[in-house]
Amino acid sequence: MKCPYCDHDKTRVIDTGHDARGGTRRRRVCDVCDRRFSSYERPMLACPLLVKQDGTREEFSRDKLIAGLKVACAKRPVAASDIERIAGEVEAELQQIGRSEVGSRLVGDKVIKKLKDLDEVAYIRYAIVYLRLGDLESIRQEIDRLLGK
């Protein structure tokens, strides 16, 4: 593995750990500049293609999901680790389905449920786009439904 500081490929592993999702975290040290860094490995399982509402298909993108979550959680007390966790959980759930294609609505449903439990304002922000809440009255109804738990 190349050192992110000096770009040499002479690094060695000094510690290895595992996370709950089956990934591996390795602490490394560069033999040239002597700086330390971490690398993460996770198994690359196939995710099903997402079938969008217009019938087009596209690959699941963890980065695209994280970007959407970051927008919904902007200026909220939501840790970056929570955003990563949600993205990882959704990706793992999609991989476990075992089908070659799923509707994109399934991804949105999983995300919105997890956001509702995490942060209600982020949930409303995501819901405005995902549920296509196009006017103040529909947004108000969703907020009232949320408050009426």
Can you give the residue ranges of every domain in the chain?
A: 11-41, 49-147
Task: Please state, as a whole number, how many other Cβ atoms lie within 10 Å of the Cβ of residue 69.
Answer: 24
Instruction: Give the Å distances, CA to CA, from 13 to 20, 28, 42.
Output: 21, 4, 16
Question: 89 pLDDT exceeds 80?
Answer: yes
- Which residues have a Cβ under 8 Å from the Cβ of 66 and sit 6 or more positions away? 83, 84, 87
Angle between helices 62-72 and 104-118 in degrees, nearest 10: 40
State pTM to two decimals.
Answer: 0.65
Secondary structure (3-state) at 127 = helix
Confidence of residue 2 (pLDDT cuts 50, 70, 90): very high
Question: What are the two backbone dihedrals, phi and then psi, of residue 8, each rounded to the nearest 5 degrees?
Answer: -85, 155
pLDDT at 102: 92
